[in-house]
A and B are shown apart, each in its own frame.
Chain A
Amino acid sequence: MATRVDGGMGAPMARGAVVEWARDIYDDLDFTVVRQWLEEHPKSKAGGYLPVYAPREVLHATGFLPVGIHGGGDRLEIIRGDAFYQSYICHLPRSVIELAQSGRLDMLSAVLFPSTCDVIRNLSGIWKLLYPDVYVRYVDVPQIPDPGAAAEFWAGELRRLLDDLGDVTGHRPTDEELRRSIALYNETRKMIRTLYAARRERPWDVPTEELYLLLRAGESVAPEEFIARARQYLAAVAADPKRQRDNSRVVIVGAFCEQPPLGLIKSIERAGCYIVDDDFLLGNRFLTHDVPTDGDPVRALADAFIRNDMKSSVLYEIDPGGKRSLMANRVAAANADGIIFATPSFCDPALLDQPMLRNGAEKAGIPCIAFKYAENTGQFQQFREQAGTFADSIKLWGAA
C-alpha cells in the first residue's frame, strides 16, 4: 500500500527514494494517496479522467483532485471486466471496469471520458448506467483548429464543465481561482517539458522507467506535490550522473491511451535503446504552450487548445501533409535514430494512424519496427529480442 511522503518536499531526496515513492503510488491500485488526500481535504472531492486529454485545470479549480485512470496494467486480475467486453476490444476498458466494480474507484465523485475513441466514448455510457450517483461527462473536444466556431464550442464545453463540476463540489470558481489553476498546470507542464528535455539530452541519466513512474505518480497526487518531487528527482539526477552507453536513440509511438506494462519499457531500454521521446500519458503535456493567465480564463483555455500544435492520433489532422511529416519531425526534434511503433492491440486511433505515420517515416529513411502489446502483457522476451535487434541494426547500418 502506498503512503504519501509527508513533509520535506523541498528537501533533497535521493533518486532511489523519489523513484520508490513514485513506484509505490504506481503499484497501489487502491489509490491510497488519493484517499489520504481526501481525508486531509474534507471539503474537496476526487475527479477521474481517462486518456487522453481532459482539462485538469477545470477539475482542479472546482475543488477536485484530478486523478488519471489508466487501468490496472499487469497488476490486476480481470474477473468482472471481461463480462463487459468482447475479446476484440482493447484491454483498458475492462481493466477500468474491474477497478470500479471492485470498489477501487469509489472515491471518485466525477469521471471525465475524453473523445479519444469510440471505446472510451461508450464507456461513458456504461458509467452512467453503473454509477448513476457519479457525475459523468463525455468530453468532446473540437477537431479543427478554427478560432471561431470551434473555439466557441470548446469554451462552451468548458463553461458547462465548470458549472456541473462546481455543482458536485459546491464550489463554482471565480475567474481568479481558475487562473490560479491554469498557472499551476502551466507549471506542471513546464516541469514535464523539463523532464522530457533532460531525458532527451541525457537518456542515460534519466531512464524512461524512472521518468514514467514519476509521471504516473503525478496522475494521482496534487500538482504541487508532483512538481516538488520532480524537482527533487532532477536535483538527484544532476548529483548522480550515470555512464553513457552505446545505445540507439528511439521514439516510442502509439502508446498514448492504454499504457504499456512497466516491464515492456524496461525491456526496450535493456535491449539497448534509449527512449528519447514517447506518447506515454500524453494528456499531461497535451497543451504544448502556456495558457495565458490574463483575460477570460475559459476563453484562454479554449484558445490554447485551438492554437495548440500537439499532433496526435486522437485529433483530426487538418494539414494534408501532416501525417507524412510527423515522424520525421519528431525524430529530428529528439535527435533519434529510429521509431518503435508500440501499439495496444485493438487500439483504433494508433493502429489506423500507423500506416500513414510509418509510410512517412520510411520515406524519410527512418528505421522503424512495430509490435502490439496489452497493458497486462506478461512476457517480454519477444519485445526484448525485437528491440535488441533493432538497436543493433541501427548501430550497424543506421548511418548508411
Chain B
Amino acid sequence: MSVALKDRSMVLQKEMIANHFERLARAPETGEPVVYTFVPGNLTELIRSFGALPVLPEINALQSGMRKLSGEYIAEAERAGHSEDVCTYVKCDIGMMRSGNIGPGGKKLPKPDLLLLSYTGCYTFMKWFELLREEYDCPTVMFHVPYQGDGKLEPEHREYMLRQLREQVIPALEKATGRKYDEEKLRHHLALSAIAEEDLVAVLQAGKKRPSPIDGYFGTVYYVGPIFSAFRGTQEGVDYYRALREEVEERAMLGLGPITPEGPLEGEKYRLVVEGPPNWTHFRDFWKMFADEKAVVVASTYTKVGGTYDFGFRHDPNDPLGTLADYCSGCYTNLNLPSRIDMICQYIKEYEADGFLINSVKSCNSFSAGQLMILREVEKRTGIPGAFIESDLVDPRYFSAANIKNRLESYFQMIDARRAGKTP
C-alpha cells in the first residue's frame, strides 16, 4: 500500500510539472502571460491571481544540474565574459538561454512578459535579473524585501513592502498581463496555499519520528518542489501535499524509513541536521553517500528557503498583501545569522539529531558567508560536533566525490566514537 501511495504523489508531481512546462511552451500561442521570479520571496499567488504562469530560474538551473547539462551552460556563459567566481545558477541560466532556452520539460521556455525581481535574501538576484533584462529586453519590477538584520520583521519594513506591492508590483503585473488586480482571486489562491502548507509541515515534522519516514534534505527537496515553485496556491498543490502527507504518515505508522534512490532505508543509524543547499550535479551520488551509511537527514535549512512554514507561518487570505510581505520577510536566507543558528539548534534538539553538517557551496554567498561561524556556534550551544564539506550548486567542476566521501566517513566514525564514550 505504501508503494502505491508513494507512486501517487510522485506521479502527481511529475504530471503537474510536465503540464506546467507544456503550458509554458504553448504560452506564446495561448497568450498566457509569463512572469519570471525567484524561489525565496516568490509571489506565486499574486502572479496566479493575474492568470500568469511563473518561471523560476533557480529551478531551471538545478534541473539542468541534475540532467548533467549545467557544465556546458556554465562554460557558455563564461565564454561570454561571466566570471568563474560568481553564482553558477546565474551562469547556468544564461548559458541555457543562449543555447536555445530549452527548459526542464525539453521544450523551449517562453520569454518573460515581466521580470518580477523579488529581492529577498540574496544580493545576486538583483544582478541576475539585470542580466536577464539585457537579454530579454522586457519590463522589470523590483520588490525590495528588507533583510531581518535584527532578527525580526520591523513594522515599518512591513509597511514598506505593502506600499511597494500596491504602488509598484501590482501596477507592473496589471500592465504586463492586461488584467486588473482582483483581491478575491488572490484570497482564493492564498487559502489554497494555507491548506497545502499545513500538509507540508506535517510531512516535514515527520522527521521527528524514530525512524524518520522522510529524508529531510535529499528527499525533501522533491517534496518542497511544488510549493517553492509554481504550485503554491493551486488545487494541484493541495492535492499533491495531501497525497504526500498520507503517504508519509503511513510510512511513519508502519515504522518505515525514508525512500532513497537505492530503495527504502532500513536501520537508521545517524540522524543529521544539514545546513546549506545540496549539490545538484551529483545529487544521487551525494545522497547515496549518506544512505550507504544509514544516515538520515531529519531536518535541513535549505528546504526553508521558500518559506519557514514549520515555524508557524501560513499564508492568510484575510490579509492578502500583508501575508505576502510576512512570507517574503521570513524566508530562510532573509534571516540574520543569529536567527539561522537558533533555527539549527532548535532542529537539533527537537529532531533529536546526533550530527550536524554544513554543505558549503561556492556559488552562494548568501548561504556560505558566515557558515564557519554557524558551525562554531552550533557546536558550542549543542555540544554536538559538526562536519563541514564543500561543493557547488550546479558546477560539476567543484564536486569532489572522494573528498566528500572521506570526510563523511570520518565524521560518522567520530559520531560512533562519541557514542562509545571514547571522545569527550
Contact = CB atoms under 8 A, between A and B. Distances in A.
Interface of A: 83-86, 88-89, 93, 113, 115, 117-119, 121-126, 128-130, 137-138, 140, 142-144, 146, 148-150, 152-153, 156, 313, 316-318, 320, 323-324, 343, 345-349, 351-356, 358-359, 372
Contacts of A144: 142, 144, 168
Contacts of B157: 153
Given A118-B122, A146-B168, A317-B130, A88 B362 contact: yes
B373 A84 contact: yes
Interface string B324-345: 0000000000001110110000
Nearest to A138: B149
Interface string B133-148: 1100100101010110
Contacts of B149: 113, 121, 124-125, 137-138, 140
A352 B119 contact: no
Contacts of B281: none
A86 B372 contact: yes
Contacts of A125: 149, 336-338, 340, 370, 373
Given A119-B369, A359-B81, A320 B140 contact: yes
Given A129-B341, A140-B146, 19 more contacts: A86-B371, A89-B365, A122-B369, A123-B369, A124-B336, A128-B337, A129-B373, A137-B150, A140-B147, A143-B119, A143-B142, A148-B163, A152-B160, A153-B160, A313-B127, A316-B126, A348-B87, A352-B124, A355-B81
Contacts of B147: 115, 121, 138, 140
Range class of the B interface residue count: 35 or more
A352 B130 CA distance: 9
Nearest to B83: A351
B86 A126 contact: no
A118, A119, A351 — most chain B CB neighbours (10 Å): A118
What 10 A-B pairs come out closest when comparing CB atoms? A125-B337, A138-B149, A352-B127, A149-B163, A122-B370, A351-B83, A153-B160, A118-B365, A118-B366, A122-B369
Interface in B78-97: 80-83, 85-87, 90
Contact of A88 (B85, B126, B130): B85
A353 B127 contact: yes
A84 B372 CA distance: 5
A117 B119 contact: no
A355 B160 contact: no
28 contacts: A84-B372, A115-B123, A117-B123, A118-B124, A122-B365, A122-B369, A129-B377, A137-B150, A144-B168, A146-B168, A149-B160, A149-B163, A149-B164, A152-B160, A153-B156, A153-B160, A320-B137, A347-B85, A349-B123, A349-B127, A351-B83, A351-B85, A352-B127, A352-B131, A354-B81, A356-B130, A372-B83, A372-B85
A85 B340 CA distance: 17
A177 B105 CA distance: 62
Contacts of A129: 337-338, 341, 373, 377
Contacts of A143: 119, 126, 142, 144
A121 B146 CA distance: 12
A356 B134 contact: yes
B162 to A, nearest CB: 9
Contacts of A122: 337, 365-366, 369-370
Contacts of B117: 316
Contacts of B87: 348, 352
B130 A323 contact: yes
Contact of B369 (A89, A142, A150, A156): A89
A313 B83 CA distance: 15
B167 interface: yes
A356 B137 CA distance: 13
A78 to B, nearest CB: 14
A86 B167 CA distance: 41
A153 B156 CA distance: 7
Contacts of A320: 133, 137, 140
